[in-house]
Structure 1
């Protein structure tokens, strides 16, 4: 468990908080207190994301919220309608793939889109303070981090920590019909969705119906994003 959670320092500090709710703890610890929040429901937020991707795939982008007026509008506060845990791969850029703009998405990117402590903490902020109604884990075709975990062997530096976080997904996908790497990538998305929901902040929002957590898969060849169940 601790192998994929990272340092755990922030998570431990939050969990040791007093009797206030997790969201109250987060808001109280945030400069300026409460922030403006999206008015979309979780289902509406998901629909808006997927509609944006369809525009991107069809080469009919509207490129919303990408001008200086938008920059000025959100300079003093943000209310993203979706939070993304995505891969650091340079070919997978959520704002472009979903045809969104400045202030629309709260994006955390790390190789292999893994949910270690610091990434979970960042998404807790998106959910508990900014009130994002949707949280998506976005994996992608031919992910190098997943491929490294699949191939095994010794990895240099601390890259091994990525493989450690992904290997349970590789193991769970072994024996499935189809391409091994694709199966492992999708299994890893499902695994990270589960790990995000070990957060008491995220789990509480899901239980209250104010948040939906989903997994998705990006096709590098077409740009199309599909949900992973």
Structure 2
């Protein structure tokens, strides 16, 4: 994945395993090497960012990469059934969910629809850790810092809530990498690594 991202950044993608023959091969069964849990932002297309092809990545996405039962179940399926050895949790700058979480804490915040409120609730603790004590002025909050804090919270929550994933890491069968994507540069930078991640996983 590191090499694929480097090709994407350089503007030299190979678009591997996207031909008709490979499409027919993976129609029988999937054997992805990694799972990716990322934000559903339209600019965060995993197979493009990492220059991967059909069957390479098992991708789970929602706004703000927020842990839920469906996310955990999907990732557990990737580990237990598909036998992936790597989970990448991918956040990014200029995240709308992070911006909404920050804005929601302002004194004169506009009320949000209830489903959006529930979606951004897990991001709010990161807002307050970055701001510290006192009132939140959304205009002065460093959204990138909030995003990084939320990414770390997401990895920690995944480990806390999934015994299966924790056991796979303890057994040396799985690693989790929390990483941040820069929209303008196209680069992916690891921030948190849990378990035996290797160059082979990348």
Within 5 Å, which residues of 2 pair with 1:60-79?
A: 60-79=12-31
Look up the SS of the partner of 1:132 in the other structure: coil
Within 5 Å, which residues of 2 pair with 1:1-229?
A: 49-152=1-104, 153=109, 154-175=111-132, 180-198=142-160, 199-229=162-192
How many Å separate the matches in 2 of 1:173 and 1:228?
Answer: 17
Q: Point out where structure 1 has 5 or more consecutive residues left out of the alignment.
A: 1-48
How many Å separate the matches in 2 of 1:179 and 1:219?
Answer: 19
Per-residue CA shift, 1:182-208, capped at 9, x if unaligned?
001111111111111120110010000
Query: Residue in 2 aligned with 1:45?
Result: none
How many Å separate the matches in 2 of 1:173 and 1:74?
Answer: 45
- Aligned-pair RMSD on alpha carbons? 1.4
Per-residue CA shift, 1:65-116, capped at 9, x if unaligned?
1111111111111111110110110011010000001000000010001111
User: TM-score normalised to the size of structure 2?
Assistant: 0.85
Q: Point out where structure 2 has 5 or more consecutive residues left out of the alignment.
A: 133-139, 193-202
Write 1 or 2 for the structure with the bigger share of strand. Answer: 2
Look up the SS of the partner of 2:23 in the other structure: helix
Query: Residue in 2 aligned with 1:3?
Result: none
How many Å separate the matches in 2 of 1:139 and 1:104?
Answer: 20
On the 8 A contact 2:102/2:141 being kept in 1, the answer is: no
